[in-house]
Structure 1
Amino acid sequence: MACTEADYAYLREIVLKQSANLVDPSRNALFDAKLIPIAKMAGASNLKDFVRLLQTDRPAHLHRAVAEAMTVNETSFFRDVKTFDLLRRAILPELVERRRQERRLRIWSAASSTGQEAYSLAMLLLEHVPDIERWDVKILGTDISQRVVAYAQRGRYRRLEVNRGLPARMLLKYLIRDEEEWGVSQNLRNLCEFQQLNLTTPMPPLPTFDLVLLRNVLLYFSQEDRSHVFATMHRQIAPDGYLLLGNAEQAEESTSLFEAEFSAESFFYRPLVD
């Protein structure tokens, strides 16, 4: 039995309330593709019966499962070459020079998905800052999905995942093969930690960050939620820190909070200080 438009509208409402992600009606077919396994595990014979279950019993764990299933978790190692060139050639050298005396860096991968972005940052530091292991460095990866946070914490990737964006030399240097998977090495684990976090809700206690990567997630937020997230980032970034967005994203809601700069063929943002 097929879902009606009202059924899909209800599912879109769940996703919006749980994760602040706006699912366009043109993407209704994704519900069929991603929710059928959850529906079967919940004892529903089809997606329409699953919607009835969600509406009648309103089980909180299944509402969360719907939102997690519809969260876009597309990522790869060193995703977007220009961004990592900007980090390597301009941003990280400047940060390292400014923090040379205290030898302390805090970096936030704010939509880290399954962890490749955070581990890529760790590799970049190990490759290009010779004494980085004598620094106090922490890369925090956060995501709204507990499932992908657990995946990042596990730090084990399939062949297809390591073949996307990760040079062979760095694969052999920083990951260890274990049968059909590759696990990140201990020196990467030492730099990274992961936790579940919803960017559109009040933040738990967090440190002040020198660099925040908020990439490829704002596209799914409403204008109100984007404004809230930019305000959060402004509070959490050091006055001389940096904010990086996805290539298709702009900080149009934050002109009073951040100023844009251009280097290495990419934009980045600095917080405006009163």
Structure 2
Amino acid sequence: MKPDDFDYVSRLLKERSGLVLTKDKAYLLESRLMPLARKRGLKGLDELMVALKKRDIVLEKAVVEAMTTNESFFFRDNKPFDQFKSIVLPNLLKARATKKSFRIWSAACSSGQEPYSLAMLLKEEGAKLSGWRYDIVGTDISDEVLKKARAGAYSQFEVQRGMPMTLLVKYFKKKDENWAIDSAIQSMVQYKEWNLLGDLKPLGQFDVVFCRNVLIYFDQPTKSKVLQAISQIMADDGVLYLGGAETVLGISDHFKPVPGQRGIYAVTKGIGKPSLGAPQG
């Protein structure tokens, strides 16, 4: 790809999605955009760039989706889900005992494995949640991956990655070459197309936010902006999950690490109040 074409796509991605693409990732750009060029009947990247520079809105959206579609799998990294079950959820049920409701947001949820993992986890805690109302919202910038998430059908390879066999047998049924998730789990998650750089307020307030392995693709000012926006739609005692390679330190003062719990952050406006992520005594 020509240097000026690379710069053009890089600016587009930064503007539309916050993704920062360095020159050493040129191979990734080419590998993701070549299938898009073929799909549109174009001979190669040169023709794709000509069309893109004509400000083809549909093509611009397709390019952003192609570059921001990231890999996901069920119960990714395990520990965040263990922490949620043993620490966050019990404290959440205690803190919300009066209103008996809470909301969880899976940001940049890709093809739905994270929110469905949370749904299965909550389903397994059924007795404790009797009489409770809870929402799980999954959002992503890509309409294409959200279609897959809503369909709830996954390949053998996808269900083998991180999915405990007991849950696969309990909540999935083999359908042709795929595994279809149980409709009861499917109905527990609402999916919405949403850009993290946009206005988040219409999503409503959340008690727990999973925004894992997203910030690593942003530059520092964008990370700070996104974290501030997330903090504004969280409960005062809400908790934020970030990926293992991500942190708020030196980036945002809207969150603080929860002591002894790597990857979990408390909203700083809730300092002085019990944190949902605080270990139980």
Match of 2:12 in 1: 14
Shift of 1:255: 4.4
* Separation (CA, whole Å) in 1 of partners of 2:180 and 2:207: 28
CA deviations 1:131-155 (Å, max 9, x no partner) are 4353211100001111111111111
* Separation (CA, whole Å) in 2 of partners of 1:32 and 1:176: 37
Match of 2:246 in 1: 249
Match of 2:265 in 1: 269
* Separation (CA, whole Å) in 2 of partners of 1:99 and 1:187: 24
Normalised to the residue count of structure 2, the TM-score between the two structures is 0.91
Shift of 1:58: 1.7
**Structure 1 residue 38 corresponds to structure 2 residue 24:** no
Distance 1:95 1:112, change over 3 A: same
Bigger mean CA offset, 245-254 vs 147-156: 245-254
Determine what percentage of the aligned residue pairs are the same residue: 36
* Separation (CA, whole Å) in 2 of partners of 1:59 and 1:232: 30
* Separation (CA, whole Å) in 1 of partners of 2:71 and 2:147: 16
- In the alignment, structure 1 segments of 5+ residues that lack a partner are none
SS at match of 1:28: helix
Shift of 1:31: 2.0
Match of 1:149 in 2: 146
> AA paired with 1:35?
L
Bigger mean CA offset, 90-99 vs 38-47: 38-47
* Separation (CA, whole Å) in 1 of partners of 2:7 and 2:188: 42
Match of 2:74 in 1: 77
Q: CA RMSD in A?
A: 1.6
SS at match of 2:239: strand
Match of 1:184 in 2: 181
**Structure 1 residue 216 corresponds to structure 2 residue 227:** no
> AA paired with 2:268?
L
* Separation (CA, whole Å) in 2 of partners of 1:150 and 1:204: 23
Match of 2:164 in 1: 167
> AA paired with 1:65?
A
CA deviations 1:152-188 (Å, max 9, x no partner) are 1111111110000001110011112212111111221
Shift of 1:267: 3.4
1:122–1:139 contact (8 Å) kept in structure 2: yes
CA deviations 1:207-261 (Å, max 9, x no partner) are 2111000100001112221111111111111111111100100013554211111
Match of 2:88 in 1: 91
**Structure 1 residue 104 corresponds to structure 2 residue 101:** yes
Match of 2:122 in 1: 125
Aligned length: 270
**Structure 1 residue 230 corresponds to structure 2 residue 227:** yes
* Separation (CA, whole Å) in 2 of partners of 1:22 and 1:64: 16
> AA paired with 1:210?
D
Normalised to the residue count of structure 1, the TM-score between the two structures is 0.93
